[in-house]
Amino acid sequence: MAVEVKIGITESPRELIVATPLTSDEAYNEVEAALAGSKELLTLVDERGARYIVPVTKIAYVEVGAAENRRVGFGS
């Protein structure tokens, strides 16, 4: 189950979307810790192992989605 994290970045028209293997609560805690000032960077790893590092000062908004089951096939 993947959790989708959308990050709006200031001065950028596009948002960064990361599908992470973290649970929704774990992803939320990472974001909350970064925005609370305990970290200068928000670091997330996606399902394939790619790392995303965003300076907290550049974050406009963050949306942490709920965990979803990926459906496979034509009936999804």
Cβ atoms 43, 53 nearer than 8 A:
yes
Separation CA 52–CA 64 (nearest Å): 15
Which domain, by its residues, includes 26? 3-64
Q: In the block, which residue shows the tokens 């965990």?
A: 67
Q: Which pLDDT belongs to residue 39?
A: 85
Residue 73 falls inside a structural domain: no
Which pLDDT tens digit goes with each residue over 18-54?
999 999 999 999 999 999 988 899 999 999 999 999 9
Q: Is the pTM of this model over 0.85?
A: no
Per the prediction, the chain carries an average pLDDT of 89
Of the two residues 70 and 1, the one the predictor is more confident about is: 1
Q: Domain total for the chain?
A: 1
Residue 40 falls inside a structural domain: yes
Pick the closest to residue 20 from 76, 72, 64, 57 (CA basis). 64
The pair of three-digit structure tokens given for residue 71, joined into one six-digit string: 């459906």
25: domain CATH number is: 2.30.30
